[in-house]
């Protein structure tokens, strides 16, 4: 497998993290509510430093193991280098058979899926950043990874994320069952639907 390249869109650059990104990543997670409130600010910062280290080591390890280029990346404005968020290509095990288009079988076995994630600083919400990032990731995984399907997940009440999924051509499905609690709304796009 190849290393995930730095992706560029009209306005954005999606690149690997460096240790210099700690302040930005920490602030993003605090601002969007992804910081663990049970931890002190110092513990949160240390957790985010470890998260960055893991991602940086993961880039190297996946290339050397000839594995798909999954992991988290930084999003910045191409013209200024200003930090705007983070995104990821992730491997997930999901009970897709619970979704309407997959048969609605409660408690079905999970299957491996490639999932996308994006998180943008609140000051950039509503500026089209998330759809631009999602489209760049979709294009890359279909072109370079030759994947059949890619998905994204979110919560029932996260309408902005569901709108991003729709803008990039994903069909959005609701898990009709209450379990697992984290598997609520799923955006799905197949390679032929581009």
d(Cα 9, Cα 107) in Å, to the nearest integer?
40
Look up the pTM and report it.
Answer: 0.92
Q: Percent helix, strand and coil across the chain, each rounded to 5?
A: 40, 25, 35
pLDDT at 1: 46
Go through the domains of the chain in sequence order and give each one's CATH number: 7-14+71-193 (3.40.630.30)
Distances (CA, A) of 145 to 114, 142, 178: 10, 5, 33
User: In the predicted model, what is the mean pLDDT of the chain?
Assistant: 93
Q: Which long-range contacts (CB under 8 A, 24 or more apart) does 172-181 make?
A: 173/99, 173/100, 173/101, 174/99, 174/100, 175/95, 175/98, 175/99, 176/98, 176/100, 176/104, 177/98, 177/106, 177/107, 179/107, 180/95
Please compute the mean of the pLDDT values over residues 58-72 and round it to a whole number: 86
pLDDT-derived band at 59 (thresholds 50, 70, 90) equals confident
- Residue with tokens 């993003």, as numbered in its chain: 28
């Amino acid at each position: 497998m190849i290393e995930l390249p730095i992706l560029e869109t009209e306005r954005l650059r999606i690149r690997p993290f460096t240790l210099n990104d700690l302040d930005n990543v920490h602030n993003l997670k605090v601002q969007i509510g992804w910081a663990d409130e049970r931890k002190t600010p110092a513990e949160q910062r240390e957790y985010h430093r470890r998260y960055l280290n893991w991602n940086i080591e993961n880039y190297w390890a996946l290339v050397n193991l000839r594995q798909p280029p999954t992991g988290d990346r930084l999003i910045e404005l191409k013209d200024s280098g200003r930090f705007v968020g983070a995104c990821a290509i992730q491997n997930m095990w999901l009970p897709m058979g619970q979704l309407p288009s997959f048969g609605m079988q409660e408690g079905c076995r999970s299957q491996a899926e490639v999932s996308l994630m994006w998180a943008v600083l609140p000051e950039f919400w509503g500026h089209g950043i998330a759809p631009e990032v999602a489209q760049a990731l979709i294009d890359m995984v279909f072109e370079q990874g030759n994947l059949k399907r890619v998905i994204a997940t979110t919560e029932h009440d996260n309408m902005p994320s569901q709108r991003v999924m729709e803008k990039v051509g994903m069909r959005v499905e609701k898990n009709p069952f209450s379990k697992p609690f984290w598997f609520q709304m799923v955006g799905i796009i197949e390679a032929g639907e581009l």
